[in-house]
Amino acid sequence: MSLVSPKSLKPVAPSPHGEGYRIYMETFGCQMNEYDTELVRSIMKARGFQFTPVDEEADVILFNTCAIRENAHNRLYGHLARYKARKKERGLVIGVLGCMAQNLKEELLETRSWIDVLVGPDAYRRLPDLLTDALEHQRKGLAVDLSEYETYAHIVPDRTGGINGWIAVMRGCDNFCAFCVVPYTRGRERSRDPEGILEEAQRLASQGVRQITLLGQNVNSYRSGVWDFARLLVAVAEVPGIQRVRFTSPHPKDFPPALLEAVAQHPIICNQIHLPLQSANDRILERMARGYTRREYLTLVEAIMKKGPIVLTTDLICGFCGETDEEFQETYDLVKEMEYQAAFVFKYSERKHTIAARKYPDNISEQVKGYRTNEIIELQKEISLRNNQALIGHEVEVMIEGHSKKSDQQWMGHTESNVTVVWPKTAQSGLPGDLVSISIHDATPSTLYGMTPTS
């Protein structure tokens, strides 16, 4: 391998910058990946590496990747192509981490020869040695063993999230939904000890975090001894200083009554549940191996609504193998009826190794998939706009999270039901982490606009 690595660089701590080697890191994919990036930062810093937000200053470029749909792959390929040229100009080590590394393994190294290091989600403890080897000895490194035990217990994530904190309470997924690559990229389900999770929540609170999101591919499967997810959620909500707790994602097939009770009753646990439907047609649900029927999903929704006011959001897949126009229409009609707060709608994308890839032809054309996806996106936009417009003239409680994307003269935050709110800063408008009342005067499908009430 011809890697032009500056020979003066020493492993770990010392470097030509008088500090450790510098890493520039980009993260794609879900919140679990954001959390893993915090773990990687911590692991690398403990070995003397530094992080830089400027890629031109970096010795190492790391991508923490997602494999959930083909467009996630394509995004990474675009980024990698850019760094191929830069690597030729000056010595750079390029590492690919996360779900795509796990899913494609050697194939990625073979087709993109300028990648030096490939590390899957269960092997981050090996990253410092592999990167040092690549930097010092120009050796390629591959670590893609999945583990039944690795939960990164005792690694304190190096946070960058301000008043928002994430805690992965479990890793992996055993559900094997037919379309999904996650069980292959993240391996078997395993839960962390509640003690470690509560310690982490207390630490986050002491660092100024006010809102915690508990993460797992299937959080309601959390189990550690006598602890289930509902008990854990309540215990996190009881941590002094934490003002809001959220969680994602629960699976509709095993949503326990105790969890619903916790969401409905506990003032700190937000009244919003992400309940991925995927499809409203029973034949498709069965093909997807989701483990619930349309009726069972609706029975759960009824139970949730009885406890009301709880807001629902969802995920949907359009154009799954063999989905007919009528079957799609059932999903469309149910979305119309459900009036979700938000829906994340995806074109089905066949993933290697999955049950669907092995069993069913991916036989819906791109055009039809695109058409169906847009139909539901447009429908949901109308629903979200209507819901949001209903708040015009009312006051909503919002947690200040930081500046809005557009201006540092505006604050951005979310309502308890997770709608984004933007409003102008004023002298008395508070600081990140504060819960404030905002009077709404305008709405789009995704954002409420308001101001601090005058009296």
Interface residues with ligand SF4 (CB under 6 A)? 173, 175-177, 180, 182-183, 217-218, 251
Burial of 162 (0-12, 13-18, 19+ CB in 10 A): middle
Given candidates 37, 64, 164, 249, which one binds ligand SAH under the rule CB under 6 A? 249
CB 451 within 8 A of CB 424: yes
If binding is defined by CB under 6 A, does position 32 make contact with ligand F3S?
Answer: yes
If binding is defined by CB under 6 A, does position 37 make contact with ligand F3S?
Answer: no
Query: 227 vs 360, which CB is nearer to ligand SAH?
Result: 360
Map tokens 């890839």 to a residue: 357
Q: Measured from the CB of residue 249, what is the shortest distance to ligand SF4 in angstroms?
A: 7
Record the tokens describing residue 169, joined without a space. Answer: 């309470």
Dihedral sign, CA of 369, 386, 251, 184?
positive
If binding is defined by CB under 6 A, does position 349 make contact with ligand SAH?
Answer: yes
Query: 180 vs 391, which CB is nearer to ligand F3S?
Result: 180
If binding is defined by CB under 6 A, does position 217 make contact with ligand SAH?
Answer: yes
Q: Interacting stretch for ligand SAH, rule CB under 6 A, among 139-147, 177-185, 200-208, 394-402?
A: 177-185
If binding is defined by CB under 6 A, does position 182 make contact with ligand F3S?
Answer: yes
If binding is defined by CB under 6 A, does position 33 make contact with ligand F3S?
Answer: yes
What mask, x for binding ligand F3S by CB under 6 A, covers residues 79 to 98? -------------------x
Record the tokens describing residue 55, joined without a space. Answer: 């890629």
CA angle 344, 282, 251 (to 5 degrees): 50
Q: Interacting stretch for ligand SAH, rule CB under 6 A, among 342-350, 370-378, 416-424, 441-449?
A: 342-350
Other beta carbons within 10 Å of 439: 16
Q: Which helix (H) or strand (E) holds 358?
A: helix 355-359
Alpha helical stretches, state H, 4-144: 31-46, 70-89, 99-104, 106-111, 127-137
φ/ψ region of 439 (left if φ > 0, alpha if ψ in -120 to 50, else beta) reads beta
Q: Interacting stretch for ligand SAH, rule CB under 6 A, among 121-129, 156-164, 227-235, 348-356?
A: 348-356
Footprint of ligand F3S on 96-155 (CB under 6 A)? 98-99
CB 250 within 8 A of CB 301: no
Record the tokens describing residue 316, joined without a space. Answer: 């949907």
Record the tokens describing residue 54, joined without a space. Answer: 């400027």
Binding site for ligand F3S (CB under 6 A): 29-30, 32-33, 66-68, 98-99, 181-182, 185-186
Binding site for ligand SAH (CB under 6 A): 68-69, 179-180, 182, 217-218, 249, 251, 276, 278, 315, 317, 346, 348-349, 351
